[in-house]
């Protein structure tokens, strides 16, 4: 199936895909994200890789640690959908040579 999200086409895996062992399906999306560390005012920019009902994976140029709490705002480009504001906690952080990949669990919506 192909869906439009954040103004780009995305591929969505079928629920009956045996290779998919996750509790919640991931939807690959390609859009920007603004975020800040909980309690701080400085807003930073990231790039969303995928999204599920319980988590988000995005890239950023700044380093963060597992356990850091962030406030995020995902604003779909060219879409009538409202921005998604959520509190997240980083559950995995890795550096791939150019950007940090931050896997986060969504802990609350705003």
CATH code of the domain in which 19 resides: 2.40.10.220
Quick one: pLDDT band at residue 24, thresholds 50, 70, 90? low
Q: Which of 1-5, 16-20, 89-93 ranks highest by mean pLDDT? A: 89-93
Print the domain residue range for 103: 2-109
- CA distances in angstroms from 40 to 37, 52, 93, 109, listed in the order given: 5, 26, 20, 18
pLDDT at 11: 43
Least Cα distance to 86 among 62, 63, 55 occurs for 55
**pLDDT value of position 4:** 43
What pLDDT band is residue 21 in, cutting at 50, 70 and 90? low
* 52 SS3 class: coil
pLDDT of residue 62 exceeding 60, the answer is: yes
Q: How many domains in the chain?
A: 1
């Amino acid at each position: 199936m192909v869906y439009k999200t954040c103004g780009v086409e995305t591929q969505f895996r079928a629920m009956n895909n045996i290779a998919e062992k996750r509790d919640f399906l991931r939807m690959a999306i390609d859009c920007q994200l603004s975020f800040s560390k909980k309690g701080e005012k400085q807003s930073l920019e990231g790039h969303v890789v995928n999204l599920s009902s319980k988590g988000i994976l995005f890239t950023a140029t700044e380093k963060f640690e597992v356990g850091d709490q962030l406030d995020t705002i995902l604003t779909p480009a060219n879409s009538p959908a409202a921005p998604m504001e959520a509190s997240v906690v980083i559950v995995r952080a890795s550096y791939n040579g150019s950007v940090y990949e931050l896997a986060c669990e969504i802990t609350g919506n705003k």
